[in-house]
Amino acid sequence: MSTYDSVAARARGLATHLLSPSEWSVLVDASDMPTLASRLAQGREPLALHGPATASDVERAARRLAGGRLALLARWCDQRPELLEVLFGDEDRRSLRALARGALAAAPPDARLAATLPTPELPMRALETLAAQPTIAAMAALLVAWRHPAAAALASAPRRGPADLLLVETALTRDFAGRALHAARRGDAVLRWHTQTVVDLENVLAALVLAEAPAEVQLSALFVDGGTVPFAALDAVARAPGRLTALQQAQAAFRGTVFAEAFTQVEPSRLAQRLAALHRGSIHRRARTDPLSSAPVLDYALRLREEVQRMRRLAWAVALDAPLEERLGEGYAR
């Protein structure tokens, strides 16, 4: 049985640098961007903000700080390559998915970077270079030149329209899943559950997309092997007549798991947030009950990702003078 006592202890130490609920409360109460920027620059874990800061500046600083922390974690995981493959492979997949979406939408580079997180394989400068590319093909060419593991997946994916975007994202997930599931077999039960869960959640979200707005592809083209929820159950979701029925089918497919309760959310992005929060909560509980497993490392990585996403929502909510509780996302408690 694999134990992760050394790296788990270090991950628990890094977790003490995450913002506490009381620190978030101070930030949430900021009335405008100058106040928020001042509090972030003078906090226990200060962000590098210089001059009048914008929401984009806060985003960029939060990503850079998180990238530094992940680089430190990667050095501590050098004797556990399965953790590197699962954790950082997933972050790279998510970043490349966001950048591909931005390229197809011809979004500005800063907007494309919003959902990215730097890793040792794709540090901040690499992400910024990819975000400046005009097409997915140009992104793929850079990844090939850099010998990034996901290069082949992105280079082989179609890239002409909305339906093709689903195939691009599936190619990235399939590539990640193949490598991560193989690596997770060298780890413990927690690492295997986490990796299978990533696959399951991607599969059900793809099925729900097809149920709501049927595309020119079938679920068989989007389904990624390696999860625990069978294809037939998810195909029933994709073929359901309407989103409410699809959610009921999804709830049935995940019956007996912590995710079954999530399928009452109607708005897609809220559902994705809820599933992520339930996944994160499960890992967090396991980190407390099994501190020598991979759970503390996974817990830290997931909480760090969530902190960066929450920081982005907060910065834009303050900049737009929006209702903060509606923008901070799933799991926030004031």
Both tokens assigned to 313: 């929502």
Q: What is the pLDDT of residue 268?
A: 75
Q: Give pairs for 314-323: CB < 8 Å, separation 24+.
A: 314/27, 314/28, 314/36, 315/33, 315/36, 315/55, 315/58, 315/59, 316/55, 318/30, 318/31, 318/32, 318/33, 318/36, 318/55, 319/33, 319/54, 319/55, 321/32
Q: What is the pLDDT of residue 326?
A: 59
Q: How far is CA 298 from the centre of its chain?
A: 12
What are φ and ψ of residue 321, in 5° steps? 55, 45
**Distance (Å, whole) CA 107 – CA 329:** 23
Q: How far is CA 207 from the centre of its chain?
A: 19
Q: What is the pLDDT of residue 334?
A: 44
Instruction: Give me the tens of pLDDT residue by residue for the chain, a chain 334 residues long.
Output: 457 888 999 999 999 999 999 999 899 888 899 999 999 998 888 888 887 889 999 999 999 999 999 999 999 888 888 999 999 999 999 999 999 999 988 999 999 998 899 999 999 999 999 999 998 889 999 999 999 999 999 887 665 555 488 889 999 999 999 999 999 999 999 999 999 999 999 999 999 999 987 667 789 999 999 999 999 999 999 999 888 999 999 999 999 999 999 998 767 778 998 999 999 999 999 999 999 999 999 999 999 999 999 999 999 999 988 776 655 555 554 4
Both tokens assigned to 278: 């339930």
Neighbours of 197 (CB within 10 A): 21
Q: What is the pLDDT of residue 191?
A: 97
* Among 100, 94, 127, 124, residue whose Cα is nearest residue 306: 94
**Distance (Å, whole) CA 210 – CA 253:** 16
Ramachandran class of 123: left when φ > 0, alpha when ψ lies in -120 to 50, beta otherwise: beta
Q: What is the pLDDT of residue 35?
A: 93
Q: Do 301 and 86 form a contact (C-beta atoms < 8 A)? A: no
**Distance (Å, whole) CA 177 – CA 85:** 10
